[in-house]
Amino acid sequence: MQDPPALPQDAPPSYDTLETQSLPLPQDEKAERSRRSGELHPLASSSPQPSPSSDSKSHAASSAWWSSWVEPPAVKEVRKTIVGLLHDLVRGGDAECILAVLDSCAGTCRSYGISLSSILQERSAAGHTPLYWAVVNRPHLVPSAQDMEYFRAILTYAAPLSTATVEDVRLACLHSPNNVLFQGLGRIPAFSPLSEQEKLIMGQTVPLDEVDVQDFEADLLHFSVRFKIPMFQKRMRIAGDVTLEFIATGRLWQFSILVARQNDYDRLGNLKVTPGRLAVKLTLLPGSPPTGLVSTLVIEDRAAHGVSPSAASSPELSSKSPSSPSAAVNPPIQVQLQSGKKQLVPGSGSWGLGGMIAVSLESNDQANTLQIDRCPYVGNDDTLIASLNVMLDAAS
């Protein structure tokens, strides 16, 4: 019987030796690594665009030279080794060490003309991508800064992500289940890139939506969510909606505030809303078990949250702060969202809207002020703070 083919000398090492070895690199990359005194290679896509520098030209020539002489079987073996190594890496371990190995894998993939992005997005590990297992196997309920750097790195190497890959990562967050990690991943551009419209609306400094979930140990069917939405009125006027997602009670939810459009069935189903008026909806997303619920959306007068720093510099606004005896606080906006006798079933019904509750706000005089300048429920910095209190049906 013939001996199995030997791996190329510069194939990636096994995971057992990753703390003492690094993946071999072409000579010009070794020199660059030496000059940077061991600093990690900058994150880049698996096929970075060359720059006009001499080092980059040398690297391109080196890559072409590697491709010209490596036989397909050797490339296949290197690819197989990298796949196996990644499967070991995503089982967990020291984030800093994993980052170093990922960097070396990326360099080797470039040298052999292998797409690391494709490998990371293949469903090669028990029906899921390596990214799925990277999320499921991180041990910390509240991810550390190093954990988030690890996720930023592996998602950036995998970018651009296909829709199927994004859904696989979202499913991993649900299976954890971990809303804190889910919100953190949503702030990584490689996982949740802004649309061109969002980039224009938000500008260079992108404000972050905040979605905090609070569970109640005394009642497992009860949870509340606090939303902090920057640039609220600007986004509503230009984009026509704000949509936020979160994980609670082992389910993935989507909450939206929308400006109704003509023939808006795809977003609001049979709900009748005058175009231009506001509506809210709560949706149970696929992968979540069905449930019935009773919930209340509460939006308080901004005075109940204190005056923003911008108001403190204005004598006129400061005189209306909560510390002033004459300051009037409007009653909170309250909107009921109930499933009634039916359960929310994700993806069911016509247009897949069986997992949704939608309510019009146009008959709520207080809620109608949300579209007006100097609305008392929107902060002076255009930030809206709202809370959603949810009680699930006991039959769930």
pTM given for the model: 0.76
- Kindly report, residue by residue over 59-83, the tens digit of the pLDDT: 444 444 444 444 478 899 999 999 9
How many CB atoms neighbour CB 290 within 10 A?
18
**CA dist., res. 94 & res. 200, Å (int):** 38
- Residue type (1 letter), 355: G
Buried b (16+ CB within 10 A) or exposed e, 147-160: bbbbbbbbbbbbbe
Taking the C-alpha atoms of residue 123 and residue 81, their distance in angstroms, rounded to an integer, is 16
**What single letter denotes the amino acid at residue 301?**
D
Would residue 170 be called left, alpha or beta, if left means φ above 0 and alpha means ψ between -120 and 50 degrees?
alpha
3-state secondary structure 11-24: CCCCHHHCCCCCCC
Strand order in the sheet with 241-248: 241-248, 251-259, 278-284, 356-360
Model pLDDT for residues 121-158, shown as the tens digit of each residue: 999 999 999 999 999 998 777 888 888 999 999 999 99
Sequential DSSP letters for 319-357: TTSTTSTT---PPPEEEEEE-TTSPB-TT-SGGG-TTEE
Peptide bond into 160 cis (omega under 30): yes
Q: What is the pLDDT of residues 169-212, one digit of tens each?
A: 999 999 988 999 999 999 999 998 877 887 788 776 777 899 99
